[in-house]
Structure formats: structure tokens, C-alpha cells
Structure 1
Amino acid sequence: MVVDETRAVALTPARHPLRRLLADRWAVAGATIVLLFILIALIAPLLSAIEGHDPYTYDTSALDDSGLPRGFGGGIGGGHWFGVEPVTGRDLFAVVVHGARTSLLVGFAATILAVLIGVLAGLTAGYFGGWYDQVMSRIIDVLFGFPWLVFVIAIGAVAPAGFPKQLLVILVIGLFGWPSIARVVRGQTLALKRRTFVVASAALGAGPGHQLRRQYLPNLWSTIIVYATITVPGMIGAEAALSFLGVGVPPPTPAWGRTIGEAVSWVQTDPMFLVFPGAALFLVTFAFNLFGDGLRDALDPRTRR
């Protein structure tokens, strides 16, 4: 009877991370929205083909003599589901769905780069300690206070003309995004060094490679996954900010940040030009944050309020 009760307790949602995650309606809603945007990004050409437009073709017939979209809501209708851009007449629905590709690609790629560097730096700094830890900690402190936005603008101005700007954005955002991850991993690594199983492994003669692979990383995966999930919306926002300032992904590649930047000057006469890309950016970043918070609570119930 005692065994059955133990099993019952072990299978309750309070004990199982996946069940805790599925029981969190906000986390499930966030995950659903994220998956929806990923699907939209994957099938963006199909969606724009169904509507009958691509994000690069100008349609001046949808504009009046002043360059504003004809009709209601910035030209919303059966031919243009989200309306059209002022002056160019480009289909806004096609721009938004193709812009999801740019934002998610940059967000995921920059996060992967930042996590790889941050985990390597934080894990080795916490494990080896000494002068290496001190040097790495100073580097992290410097990067935290470094004006990376000014640096990105400068790099964008001097980068070779043939260098892909999208790759440049990924590299710069990722290379400046790892210090916070490194600091968290370093702190967790220092805590693990005092755990009994790690001390016993070292006493039995396990080398650094074995300990890092078998004792440290398996106990850090939950922290790494949660932090990566929370980092993605920050990377998407950074790409949008750079595109908004005109130093991100160059035209004519669709990008939410650049579209929002262009829409700001038209908000009084064509507010829908700002609403759709702004809503897409808000929804995807909000959804990632909801899912990340729910995942953190599911993997570490002590963080629940």
C-alpha cells in the first residue's frame, strides 16, 4: 500500500514537470502561439501565394494620388488581407508573414550562438576558478557595460558590401548576448562544486572532461533550456530595434522592425500600417516570455509564487 501511494504521489502534476507545464494555461497558450508563428514562418510563401501577392511587388493601383492606400483600414480587402504599404503598395500581409522568417531566424540563431558561448565560458570559469575565473568575470563585466548598439552601428557602416547583413546581425547580437547566460551558468557551477556526488567523483579520480560531461552538464540542462527560451524574445527584440534604426536586415528583405520604423511616420494617416507588424512582434515576444516563465516554474517548483 505504501508503494502504491508513493507511485501515486510521483505521478501527480505537482511532481511531474511535464504535467506541471501542461497544467499552466498561460504557458500552454504561449507555446501554442510560438508554434503558430513558427508554422507561419515555415509556410510563408504558401500563405502569401494563397492571398495572391508577394512581399516585393509594388502595387501602385492600390494607392491614391497622395500615396495612401485606397479604401478602408489602409486598403484592407479581399485582395490585400492586411492592406498595403503607403507609397510602395506592397502587400502588408505578405510582408508580415515573411518578416516572421527574418525575426525568428535571427532570434533562434543568435540565441544558439549566445548560449553556446555563455555555457562554455560560465561552465569553465566556475569549474576551474582561480585566475581564469577572475579574467572571465572581468570580461563579462566589461561586456555588460559595453555600448553594443553604437558598436553595431559602426560595424554596419564599415562591413564589406558583400557580407550578408542578416548573418552580421546574428553574429553581433549573439556575441554580445552571452554574458548574462555565462553569469547564471557560472553561479550554478559553483553551487554544484559543493555537491556530494561531485566531490565524490573528484575523489575517485574523475578528470575534468568526465566531470563536466557527466556531473555538471546533466544538472545544468534545465537552467540552460529555460534561460535560452527566455533569451529568444530579447534577441528578436534586438533585431527589431536594429532594423528600426536602419542598421539591421536591409531592404527589400521583410523585417518587422524596419516595417515598424517606416510605419511610425504614417501612424496619423494609416495606423494599420503600424498595427499589424507591431502586433506580430508583441505577440511572439509575449508568447516566448509566457512559455519561458511556465517552463521555469515546471522545472523548478521553488520559483512558483
Structure 2
Amino acid sequence: MSNPTPPVGPGLPETQTLIPDTTTAPGKEKESKQGKQGKPASLWTDAWYDLRRRPMFIISVIIILVLLVMSFWPSLFSSIDPYNARTCDLSTARQGPSPGHLFGRDNLGCDVYARTIYGARNSIVIGVFTTLVTTLIGGLLGIIAGFRGGMVDTISSRVTEIFFAIPSILGALLIAATFRGRYNSILLVIIALSVLGWPMVYRIMRAAVITAKNQDFVVAARALGAGAGRIMFRHLLPNSLAPVIVVATINLGTFIAAEAALSFLGVGVQSPDISWGLMIADARNRFLEAPLPLVFPAVFLSITVLAFIMMGDAVRDALDPKLR
């Protein structure tokens, strides 16, 4: 039996009988609150929401930001200009830490701290530009090969396999040694690493495009008369970019380490330019009697590479829903 509507008495205002019941269940209240906040609707916004809650990503970003500031404005961290020969004093060579010289002095009496700070610029510049070049070349060839297929895909894949058969460091060493002295040493290292660094990006982009080009949105774009260029760069590229960004982030740290290896072997960055690999090479012969000129640039190099790898792993986990 249903409850009758309560009568309207003379002492009860009529409007009170018309007030609706606004009470909701706790679950519905929470659901409506989430709806007002707005749940991330795209892969990128969802990934950013996930990244902000990852301590590994936050720590790596802070380290990278400090390194970038150090690269562009090294004078904020050191008042000594290591490019000025007058700041080096041969009589204080291999001297330990002292006031004004936190990391001591190297074999030529130069301040190790100042050289470490200024060395960040060349190491990071080489890593960033090499990553950009390899991503552009590999990404462009990968999206064309994956979309076109057929003979274009076959030829480009065979050429890529030839580059894959060459060890990266050995090939870069050969290129840098062959053209040493003909070009600026920093530019030569970027070219040497880029020539052999793009095939991995090519494979990642090609596989992503092959998977995406059979999706309904590409079929619909073709049915509406979209051209090949519009389909590739307006529809396929945004939906195939996530794995490429992950690989590029990790490759950046790898290229910084590769530059250090080339400089250590004597075919990378050359004096008077400064890089961490060159500092390690200069200090290796006197490591037992003066370890600090080698230890500090090696520590900075390791932290930088680790920061980029940590950020790449965090981005990969955020962009891949299966790993969350």
C-alpha cells in the first residue's frame, strides 16, 4: 500500500510539499563528482594524469630540468670560466678539493667543478640533436614504408637491416675517425651517431603504422576521399607517435653515453671543447693518484643517462594501458 500524500494544513506552507527528495546514494554522489571533474578522454591526457603520480617520473624530470638549466646558463653554477686558460694553474695540478674548488683540479690545474658544469652543455646538446635527427629520419621513413607497403616497404626494410648489422659504436667510431679534423667535432659526433641510430625508430614507427592503418578511422578517411599525405600525417602519425616518443626518450640518454665513449676513445669532442667523456679520457692515466677529476664527470654522466632512462620507462608505462 502506497503512502498517501500528506495533507496541507493551515500551519504548513504549501511549498514544502513540493520540495523533491535530493538525497543520493554515496556511490552515485562519488560518480557524479567524478563526472564534474571530467575523466581524461584521450591517451595523452590520461598518460599525463598517470605520470604526475609517478615518483620516478617526477625525480627524473627534476634532474633533467637542473641539467638543462646547467647547460644553458652554466655561469649560474660556477663563477670560473674553464675556457679561459688563465683560470688554470699548472702548479696546482691534481690538487684535492679546496675552498673555491669543490672537486679539486685536473692534470692541467683547471677547476674540475667548472669543467664538469660547462661539459654538460656539449654532452646534452649532442644527445638532443642526435635524438631529433634520428627520430625525424626513422619516423618519416617508417610511416612511409608502413603506409605504402609493397616494394617500398621491402626495399626500406632491407636497407634498414644492413644498418642494423653494423655495431653502432664501431660504425660511429669509424665515421668519426675518417672525417676527424674536417668538420666541427660536435657536429661530426652528431652525424656519426645519427647515421646508425635511426633504424630502431624506423622499425617502431613502421610497426605502429601497420597496426593503425587497418583501423576504422583510417578506412573512414579513405572512404571520404582523404589523400595519402593527410592520412599519414593527420590520422596515422598522432596514433603511432606514443612508442616513438618512448624510444626517443631512452635513446637520448643512450646517445649521451655514446658521445662519452667516442670522446674517451679520442674521436669525439676535441679540445678546447669540453665534454664529460673528454674529461674522463684526460683523467684516466692519473686515476690512482688523483681520482676526483675522473669520478665527478663520470657521476654526472651516469646520473644524466639514468634520468633519461627513468623518464622513458615512466612514459612507456603511462602510454601503455596494459602496463598500468
TM-score (norm 2): 0.84
Partner of residue 74, structure 2 = 44
Residue range with higher mean Cα deviation, 139-148 or 96-105: 139-148
Residues in 1 aligned to 2:314 and 2:283: alpha-carbon distance in whole angstroms? 34
Residue range with higher mean Cα deviation, 183-192 or 90-99: 90-99
Residues in 2 aligned to 1:109 and 1:190: alpha-carbon distance in whole angstroms? 28
* Match for residue 102 of structure 2 among 81, 87, 93: 81
Partner of residue 131, structure 2 = 111
Residues in 1 aligned to 2:225 and 2:263: alpha-carbon distance in whole angstroms? 52
Partner of residue 146, structure 2 = 126
The reply on whether 1:144 has 2:164 as its aligned counterpart is yes
> Paired residues, what number?
291
Question: Which is bigger in relative contact order (C-alpha 8 A, separation at least 6)?
Answer: 1
| CA distances 1:26-59 after superposition (whole Å, capped 9, x unpaired) | 111011101111111111134332xx45245221
The amino acid that maps onto 1:89 is G
The reply on whether 1:286 has 2:286 as its aligned counterpart is no
Residues in 2 aligned to 1:270 and 1:53: alpha-carbon distance in whole angstroms? 22
The amino acid that maps onto 1:232 is L
User: Is the 2:168–2:197 Cα contact (8 Å) retained in structure 1?
Assistant: no
Residues in 2 aligned to 1:34 and 1:254: alpha-carbon distance in whole angstroms? 19
Residues in 1 aligned to 2:212 and 2:40: alpha-carbon distance in whole angstroms? 27
Q: Secondary structure at the match of 2:52?
A: helix
The amino acid that maps onto 2:186 is Q
Partner of residue 18, structure 1 = 48
The reply on whether 1:59 has 2:89 as its aligned counterpart is yes
The amino acid that maps onto 2:273 is T
Residues in 2 aligned to 1:161 and 1:147: alpha-carbon distance in whole angstroms? 23
* Match for residue 57 of structure 2 among 9, 24, 27: 27
Partner of residue 99, structure 1 = 119
Q: Secondary structure at the match of 2:214?
A: coil
* Gap regions ≥5 residues in structure 2: 1-27
| CA distances 1:112-150 after superposition (whole Å, capped 9, x unpaired) | 000000100110000000011011111111111114444
TM-score (norm 1): 0.89
Q: Secondary structure at the match of 1:16?
A: helix
* Gap regions ≥5 residues in structure 1: 64-68
Once the two structures are TM-superposed, the CA of residue 266 in structure 1 deviates from its matched residue by 2.0
> Any residues of structure 2 matched to 1:188-227 within 5 Å, and which?
188-227=208-247
Report the structure number with the largest CA radius of gyration.
2
User: Is the 1:48–1:54 Cα contact (8 Å) retained in structure 2?
Assistant: no
**Residues 61 and 131 (structure 1), Cα distance of their counterparts in 2 relative to 1, 3 Å cut:** same
Residue identity over aligned pairs, in percent, reads: 35
